[in-house]
Structure 1
Amino acid sequence: MDKSTLLKVSNLKKTFIKKSGTFLKRRKTEVYAVNNINFEVNKGEILGIIGESGCGKTSTARMVMRLMKETKGEITFEGVNLCNLKESETNKIRKKMQMIFQDPYDTLNPGMKILDILMEPINAHEKGLTYEEKYQKVIEAIEAIELRPAQDFIHRFPHQLSGGQRQRIAIARAIILNPSFIAADEPTSMLDVSVRAGILNLLLDLRKKMGLTMMFITHDLSTASYMCDRIAVMYQGKIVEIGPTKKIIQNPSHPYTKALVAVVKDLNNFIKNREKLILDGEVDATKEEKGCPFVARCPHKEAVCHTQVPVLEDVDRGHSVSCHCHIELLEKTS
């Protein structure tokens, strides 16, 4: 693993078992949530993972953060394979890896005051500190997330805060141990539009001040383009395109990415030309495709797309795409 690489994911796969049928005749079906993905996150960068609901991006984050066990694969953080660690060893790593969840209403204990909520991670990982030192760390964390004066907030309960303030407290809890890596799972999707920009700018500011490395998960390409240095596009459990944000936005190479970019650039034009970009169809995660996972909805599919799984190929200095037809598509649009 390169010295500049903080996190490396190799051949990561997650399969769930879906049970259906009657009590007397139960049927088990495998659901392929994440299907052999590979990516790296370099120190100090923000890697965005985007895709529609059910594509596997949250499952990926939860496996990276050891909140969910993988079916197979490796997750290497600072040179250590997290998949081989015992629970006690994993707990030691958690101080360096923190997560910001999507819903601030669910992630904060409604029966605890803000002071106690922020004290919890300190009590778990920095037991040698005095109460005064712990209290000071709480005050500094609240000041860092721009809730001032901090003393006005520490004795409130979560229900006494607005949605944006709650998410800021969730961010404070994530940074209070001074981690090196944060996974943010759609941290603004549950918030009013008026407060989203403030949360995004706060994360960028904290990244600069603390030297944070982030994995930013979202379904919104415009948010990813604002936040991220690189973007990985997921579809049906696979990464279909990955590269620098500017290249993904200006020169999308996979048909699915092209459709996402077209929506952001001009919604009216996308609606008029929708069938040229993406076909209607349901995604069935219970079937492991023999060919391209996008084949059922791709307007450019060829015979090879039904029989061979495409692999990520470099098309332009770190910009990779998984598509049999990307060269032909590039020639059509150039």
Structure 2
Amino acid sequence: MNDKNLIEVKLLNKTFTKKVGRHLFNRKVIPVHAVNNVSFEVKKGETLGIIGESGCGKTTTARMLLRLQKETSGEIYFKGTDLCKLNEKQTAKFRSNMQMIFQDPYDTLNPGMRIIDILMEPINAHLKGLSHKEKKAMVKESIEAIDLKPAERFIYRYPHELSGGQRQRIAIARSIILEPDFIAADEPTSMLDVSVRAGILNLLLKLKEKMGLTMMFITHDLTTASYMCDRIAVMYQGEIVEIGTTQEVINYPSHPYTRALVSVVTDLNHFIDNRERIILDGEVDATMEKKGCIFVNRCPFKEEHCEHHSPDFIQKEENHFVACSCLDKVPAGLPKEQIFDKKPVS
């Protein structure tokens, strides 16, 4: 394992099953490929963004990293240890060092518990030798770290007595109270009012800098990813199709799916010029057999071989990789606003 990496993921797979058919006792069971041969690394101190439309496997990937779901196959190395080979007791020792911020704070905070009791839970689970006074001091410190001051005003409230933004801040406080090395944030602002989203994002950036956190930031919003992330991995139908630095992926999107995502974002003016909007035809189907390129049914550049051969990653720049067999169909030096002038291949 590279010493610069905190996490390394190798050929990670997660397959679910679902039953289809009208007859209750004669239904066909088909596989659903939620995550398919995903490999990547998360460097120490960086924020890796995972972007893609709903159902692409972003959250499932994060939940497997945090051991909230078991993988079908693959390897997940955290500080050199393969988490997939650990039993429950061994895994528990790593939980204090890996935390997750979920999408909806109200669903993840017990409505019948006070804030102080909610934040005491991880302390009681992992730091059993501390006195009640020491634990309470840790709770107050974590609440003030998320800019809810003074802490005494909040620790005896219940979740329903807080605003949505305050609840998410409490969820963040719970994730940092044990001072972990790694946090996965699963669309932490998507359930919040627009007026409070920037405050939550800036809080996460401040905590990352102050605590030296390594983060995975999951979102379907390319604008948010551009603001938060050092690198971006683009997922489509359970696979990573492009990964690179934020500037490279947004300024020079190379996979047809990434280009389509970038083309419909209107407020990335800091990163890109205006581009022609690209609307993809077709729908995502995670149950389809993986015979060739997963994007073939929606790709405007597809060729016959794309139907039968899965593309390998091609290195565009030092840290920019793309899984596409048709990159040569876009002439070098083509102005960015003209990338999608080509007609789809019939």
Report the counterpart of residue 12 of structure 1 in structure 2: 12
Within 2, Cα distance between the matches of 1:236 and 1:313? Answer: 19
Report the counterpart of residue 139 of structure 2 in structure 1: 138
How high is the TM-score relative to the length of structure 1? 0.96
Residue 198 (1) aligns with residue 212 (2): no
Which protein is richer in helix relative to its size? 1
- Closer, same or farther in 2 for the Cα pair 1:197/1:330, shift >3 Å? farther
Report the counterpart of residue 339 of structure 2 in structure 1: none
Within 1, Cα distance between the matches of 2:172 and 2:19? Answer: 36
Structure 1, unaligned stretches of length 5 or more? none
Report the counterpart of residue 299 of structure 1 in structure 2: 300
- Which letter maps to 1:315? K
Within 2, Cα distance between the matches of 1:291 and 1:37? Answer: 16
Structure 2, unaligned stretches of length 5 or more? 269-274, 336-346
Q: For residue 190 of structure 1, report the CA deviation from its aligned partner.
A: 0.3
**160-169 vs 300-309, which moves further:** 300-309
Q: For residue 278 of structure 1, report the CA deviation from its aligned partner.
A: 4.5
Q: For residue 266 of structure 1, report the CA deviation from its aligned partner.
A: 7.2
Would you say the 8 A contact 1:278–1:298 is kept in 2? no
- Which letter maps to 1:82? L
Report the secondary structure of 1:297's partner residue: coil
Would you say the 8 A contact 2:223–2:267 is kept in 1? no
Residue 31 (1) aligns with residue 32 (2): yes
- Which letter maps to 2:94? I
Would you say the 8 A contact 1:255–1:278 is kept in 2? no
Within 2, Cα distance between the matches of 1:258 and 1:97? Answer: 33
Within 1, Cα distance between the matches of 2:214 and 2:280? Answer: 36
Aligned residues: 330
CA RMSD between the two structures: 1.6
Report the secondary structure of 1:204's partner residue: helix
Report the counterpart of residue 160 of structure 1 in structure 2: 161
- Which letter maps to 1:2? N
1:21-72: CA deviations, max 9, x gaps? 3222122110000000100000000000000000000000000000000010
How high is the TM-score relative to the length of structure 2? 0.93
What does residue range 1-334 of structure 1 map to in structure 2 within 5 Å? 1-21=1-21, 22-265=23-266, 274=277, 277-331=278-332, 333-334=334-335
- Which letter maps to 1:54? G
Would you say the 8 A contact 1:33–1:236 is kept in 2? yes
Within 2, Cα distance between the matches of 1:310 and 1:19? Answer: 30
- Which letter maps to 1:214? M
- Closer, same or farther in 2 for the Cα pair 1:140/1:330, shift >3 Å? farther
Report the counterpart of residue 343 of structure 2 in structure 1: none
Within 2, Cα distance between the matches of 1:122 and 1:37? Answer: 33
Q: For residue 273 of structure 1, report the CA deviation from its aligned partner.
A: 5.1
Within 2, Cα distance between the matches of 1:60 and 1:263? Answer: 25
Identity value in percent: 66
1:5-26: CA deviations, max 9, x gaps? 0000000010001023322212
Would you say the 8 A contact 1:256–1:278 is kept in 2? no
